[in-house]
Amino acid sequence: MSGWVRVGVAAVAMSALVPLGPPAEASAAAGAAKPAQQAKPIKQAKPVNCSRAKCIALTFDDGPGPHTARLLDTLKKNGVRVTFFLVGEQVERRPSVVRRMAREGHEIANHTYSHPRLTELGVDEIVSEIKRGKAAIRKVTKRQPEMLRPPYGLTDERVEALAGAQGQAVMLWSSSSRDWELRRSDLIVKRALKLARRDGIMLLHDIVPGTVRAMPKLLKELRKRGYTVVTVSEARRGKLPGPGERWPAR
């Protein structure tokens, strides 16, 4: 896999847009927890040294959704931390789930506010999507997300320059489970194991029920193969691309 590429803000120009077309996801959830319990942070696991360990980063897009809390239960039971690329609208619908992610040590990043195809949008719309997604996460977690994953992985120099102006690196993936297409847990596990590579960054979706059901088996099988599941930052040894840079490079 190659390195990453920096695109200057000056590259924001009038490029032609390619029409495509978007999905969305919605639902509501609530939950009241005792203030004392909510405020108490969970003891964090020690950081993993991926220079020595056989690491793989699992990343989950499009949430938080109706099944995310169950996924968090599985991750906690297995002592695993992952990276969530969250949609701002869904963060606003399920803030308690997002607070739990942060409390349990997961990495949280930006997946825009409403999950549009950024390459179809005008400059002001792209900026709004990035800023509003980032603001929704910051409001709930009190942390500034450093990474943007454009919906569908659709990006270009213009999107990357605008992300850079907002202090966001563009983080894609090295392998995709295609879980939204496969749906069945056994098929998701089979494909994920086939694609697993050391220091890989795998795309999954916590809004896909089959993915959440697949996780206990997938984590068990990855462990058997010697993998340690980590966040994107851990897999990259803390060396994330800078604002306006993309990984992997074209």
Long-range CB pairs of 70-79 (<8 Å, 24+ gap) are 70/212, 71/206, 71/211, 71/212, 71/215, 72/97, 72/100, 72/101, 72/104, 72/106, 74/212, 74/215, 74/216, 74/219, 75/104, 75/106, 75/215, 76/104, 78/216, 78/219, 78/229, 79/45
Which residues belong to the active site?
61, 205
Long-range CB pairs of 9-15 (<8 Å, 24+ gap) are 9/161, 9/162, 9/164, 9/165, 9/244, 10/161, 11/157, 11/158, 11/160, 11/161, 12/123, 12/158, 12/161, 12/162, 12/165, 13/158, 15/156, 15/157, 15/158
Distance CA 98, CA 68 (A): 9
